[in-house]
Chain A
Amino acid sequence: AQSVTQPDIHITVSEGASLELRCNYSYGATPYLFWYVQSPGQGLQLLLKYFSGDTLVQGIKGFEAEFKRSQSSFNLRKPSVHWSDAAEYFCAGTGANNLFFGTGTRLTVIP
C-alpha cells in the first residue's frame, strides 16, 4: 500500500541550530512528494514539492528537501532554525487521486 511515514513525533531544537525532519515513503513507483507546515490553529501551507528531476528541492522559508530513492526518503532540512519555525510538519505523497499524509512531526524551538 502507498504510504508515508514520519518516525519522529516531536523534535526540539535550539534557535540557530540545523534541522532535519525525516520522511520515508512506500510506493510502487516514484511518487510525487510534498512537505506541508501547519502553524497552531491554522490550515496547512505547502513548503516544497518533488515531482522529478533534481533530487534536491528548494522551498519557501529557507527549507530544502532531498529525495533519496535508495533510502526511500524525502527528508526536510533547514540550516538555521528560527523561533517562528515552531509548528507541525507533514510529509505527504500522492496516490491515484488523493494525497497520503504522514502523522506529522511537531517542532519545538528553544531560545
Chain B
Amino acid sequence: NAGVTQTPKFQVLKTGQSMTLQCAQDMNHEYMSWYRQDPGMGLRLIHYSVGAGITDQGEVPNGYNVSRSTTEDFPLRLLSAAPSQTSVYFCASSYSDSSYEQYFGPGTRLTVT
C-alpha cells in the first residue's frame, strides 16, 4: 500500500494563477480531508469529504474548491492564488469519519509570490 500520496511536493505560483493539488489514497477510506499548516497555527481544516460525491467546508474554505468523484482521489483546487495561501498543505484519509485515525500524506509546500 502506498497510503496517502500527494503531488507535487513543492510548487511556486504567481498571484492569480490557478492550480490543483492532487491527493490519492489506496486504503479504500471513505473520509478524506485537506488541511493547511501555518507557523503557530497548527493544522486547519479546509474541506473534507465523507464519501464519493459528498464534500463539505471546514474552518478555512475560502479560495479553495474540492470534488470527490472517486473514493481514491480528492483534489484541491486553488482558483486564483493569493500570497495568503502560501502554506504547507496536507491531505489525510480515514476509514469512516474523523473519529478514526487519520493517515496523512507527506504534504505540498506552496509558495505564492
Q: Judge whether A90 is part of the interface by a CB distance below 8 angstroms.
A: yes
B18 to chain A, nearest CB (A): 25
Task: Tell me the chain B residues, 1-29 only, with Cβ under 8 Å from chain A.
Answer: 4
Task: Tell me the chain A residues, 87-109 only, with Cβ under 8 Å from chain B.
Answer: 90, 94-95, 97-104
CB within 8 A of A90: which of B42, B58, B59, B98?
Answer: B42
Interface size in chain A (residues, C-beta < 8 A): 22
Q: Decide if B107 touches A95 in the complex (CB within 8 Å).
A: no
CB closest chain-B residue, reference A93: B98
B64 to chain A, nearest CB (A): 15
Indicate with 1 or 0, residue by residue over B70-113, a CB within 8 angstroms of chain A CB atoms.
Answer: 00000000000000000000101000011101101111000000
Q: Decide if A97 touches B48 in the complex (CB within 8 Å).
A: yes
Q: Judge whether B53 is part of the interface by a CB distance below 8 angstroms.
A: no
Q: Decide if A103 touches B50 in the complex (CB within 8 Å).
A: no
Q: Decide if B99 touches A43 in the complex (CB within 8 Å).
A: no
Contacts of B107 in A (CB 8 A): 41-43
Chain B residues proximal to chain A, CB less than 8 Å: 4, 33, 35, 40-45, 48, 50, 56, 58-59, 90, 92, 97-99, 101-102, 104-107
Chain A residues proximal to chain B, CB less than 8 Å: 9, 32, 34, 41-46, 49, 51, 90, 94-95, 97-104
Could you write out 25 A-B pairs with CB less than 8 Å apart? A9-B40, A32-B99, A34-B101, A43-B4, A43-B106, A44-B92, A44-B102, A44-B104, A45-B104, A46-B101, A90-B43, A94-B98, A97-B56, A97-B97, A97-B98, A98-B48, A98-B98, A99-B33, A99-B45, A99-B98, A101-B42, A101-B44, A102-B42, A103-B40, A103-B42
